[in-house]
Structure 1
Amino acid sequence: MPIININNKKVHIQELNKGAEQTVVLIHGMFSNLSIYYFNIAPVLAKKFHVVMYDLKSHGMSERFEDGYDLDNMSSDLIALMDELQVEKVHLVGYSFGGLIALKTALQYKNRINQLVVMEAPDPHDEKARGIIDQYSKEFLEHYVANFTDTTKVQMGKRQMEKNHRMYEFLFNKTSIKADMIKEKDFLSKADLSELNIPTLLLYGSDSNCKQTGEFLNTQITDSQLELISGDHNIPIQEPTLIAETIADFLSKTLSKTLT
């Protein structure tokens, strides 16, 4: 269980294929943890890339904090993580709220990002889109338990289940995470996305409440392509292999064009 100190916070990380030349950083969504990638998506990407996953503050096995969930703070944590790992530039993949963190980081630190994958990022201004996070968190927990059992061949114990539920109770009820997201409600409308000259893949579920946000981003980000995956907001759970292969194909093809 690797724990490193980032901006005076204890952060849980996992790395695969450390020897690879190119690094991909995977950012999970609100109320989940890095296991959304660890079981199915990261191993596919690790065939070609050094993969870095980390638990956001108060998520998974990272240290708990009551505040600091705005996009500026979350982006700062990500850059500090890269600095700690001595990685100058990365390919950035963000899912749901993690997609907003990825966008914010790419806008603020353009020289640190090679390529960008935004998956099911919601519009913080859309109350319905914010509401799906609650439902998503419940489905994620079920997915996490199932994959833990399938992967480790060990039934998750009562103590581990209770620990996970306590974490979600803390996030829901004792942090500023929802309030901070509401404060970011004008992020997409005020951001100058046309300045984002980074190859960008937008992955959204064909039946997702967030699909319109993907279509909007596609009109605003010059070098972007939108791909719809069968499913809803939970496409990393519903189609993990397809998601992984689509991301790997995008990164590899775009990277080869950049290098030639």
Structure 2
Amino acid sequence: MPVIKVNNRDVHIQELNKGAAETVLMIHGMFSNLSVYYFNIAPILAEHFHVVMYDLKSHGMSERTLHGYDLNSMTDDLNALMEALYLNSVHLAGYSFGGLIALKMALRFPDKVKKLVVIEAPDPKDEKARGIIDDYSREFLEHYVENFTDTTKVKMGKRQMERNHRMYEYLFYQTSIKSDMIAEKDFLDEPQITLLNKETLLLYGADSNCLETGKELNEKIKTSELTPVPGDHNIPIQEPVLIANMINTFFMN
């Protein structure tokens, strides 16, 4: 498992099709890891693109840290990752809180983002939207365990399961992750959102509690297109092939 130093911390990354002309960089949501893309979505994108995935701090196999889960810190990390990988500009896709990171990246470092895909980004001020991230983490863990054996040919044992649960408990109860998310409650109301001029694809579950946020973003971002997808907040898990094909078509056109 490749681990590189970014801002003096260990970051777990995965890359597919390094020789492709253009790069798609994918950001997972809080309380998950890069495998939400790795098993089904990334291989489809890698037919045409260099695909880069990474575990956010304290997630997956990246180094744990107590603080720095606000959007400025997260995009500083992403910018440093791109520099470490010698990536000048990329197509960017983010899911759930990763979608907010992607939006912030496009606002802070516009020259480094070509096109943007935002999947199920919640409104940080919406308590219901924040709550479904907790639900997502449970469904994600089940999905991760199910696919772990298929991908690695190794059955995940009790010890590995316990490590995963400890990671979630660490994030929930020891880090500043929840307070940092709450501190971003006004992010989508900031005037700079309306100035975003990147071509943006908004993918939201037709039955998701976050769909209204997608509609609001579609109104604010003049260069955006909103596409509802069958499912709820967990559409990358529920409809991975559909999601991958939609992202593929958007970035290729």
Q: TM-score, normalised by structure 2?
A: 0.99
**What is the CA deviation profile of residues 53-81 of structure 1, one whole-angstrom value per residue up to 9, with x for unaligned ones?**
00000000000001100000000000000
Amino acid at match of 2:114: N
Amino acid at match of 1:147: N
Query: What is the aligned partner in structure 1 of residue 181 from structure 2?
Result: 181
Amino acid at match of 2:156: M
Which secondary structure does the structure 2 equivalent of 1:179 belong to? helix
Offset at residue 151 of structure 1 (A): 2.4
Calculate the aligned-residue CA RMSD, in Å: 0.7
Which secondary structure does the structure 2 equivalent of 1:192 belong to? helix
Report the Cα distance in structure 1 between the residues aligned to 2:10 and 2:220, rounded to whole angstroms: 36
Which secondary structure does the structure 2 equivalent of 1:15 belong to? strand
Query: What is the aligned partner in structure 1 of residue 42 from structure 2?
Result: 42
Report the Cα distance in structure 2 between the residues aligned to 1:218 and 1:233, rounded to whole angstroms: 17
Which secondary structure does the structure 2 equivalent of 1:118 belong to? strand
Query: What is the aligned partner in structure 1 of residue 160 from structure 2?
Result: 160
Query: What is the aligned partner in structure 2 of residue 64 from structure 1?
Result: 64
Report the Cα distance in structure 2 between the residues aligned to 1:47 and 1:224, rounded to whole angstroms: 25
**What is the CA deviation profile of residues 158-180 of structure 1, one whole-angstrom value per residue up to 9, with x for unaligned ones?**
11111111111100110000000
Offset at residue 191 of structure 1 (A): 4.1
Structural mapping, 1:161-240, within 5 Å:
161-240=161-240
Does residue 1:75 correspond to 2:78, yes or no? Answer: no
Offset at residue 152 of structure 1 (A): 2.8
Quick one: percent identity of the two aligned structures? 68
Query: What is the aligned partner in structure 1 of residue 30 from structure 2?
Result: 30
Residue segments in structure 1 that go unaligned for 5+ positions in a row:
254-260
Amino acid at match of 2:185: K
Amino acid at match of 2:179: A
Report the Cα distance in structure 1 between the residues aligned to 2:180 and 2:6, rounded to whole angstroms: 20
**What is the CA deviation profile of residues 85-132 of structure 1, one whole-angstrom value per residue up to 9, with x for unaligned ones?**
001000000000000000000001111100000000000010110111
Query: What is the aligned partner in structure 2 of residue 117 from structure 1?
Result: 117
Report the Cα distance in structure 2 between the residues aligned to 1:146 and 1:252, rounded to whole angstroms: 31
Structure 1 runs, 4 residues or longer, greater than 3 Å off: none
Which secondary structure does the structure 2 equivalent of 1:245 belong to? helix
Query: What is the aligned partner in structure 2 of residue 258 from structure 1?
Result: none
Query: What is the aligned partner in structure 2 of residue 6 from structure 1?
Result: 6
Offset at residue 192 of structure 1 (A): 1.7
Query: What is the aligned partner in structure 2 of residue 19 from structure 1?
Result: 19
Query: What is the aligned partner in structure 2 of residue 257 from structure 1?
Result: none
Query: What is the aligned partner in structure 1 of residue 145 from structure 2?
Result: 145
Amino acid at match of 1:70: D
CA distance 1:183–1:69, change in 2 (3 Å): same
Amino acid at match of 1:173: Y
Query: What is the aligned partner in structure 1 of residue 89 from structure 2?
Result: 89
Report the Cα distance in structure 2 between the residues aligned to 1:82 and 1:25, rounded to whole angstroms: 9
Report the Cα distance in structure 2 between the residues aligned to 1:176 and 1:69, rounded to whole angstroms: 7
Question: Please, which moves more after superposition, 145-154 or 107-116?
Answer: 145-154
Which secondary structure does the structure 1 equivalent of 2:250 belong to? helix
Offset at residue 211 of structure 1 (A): 0.1
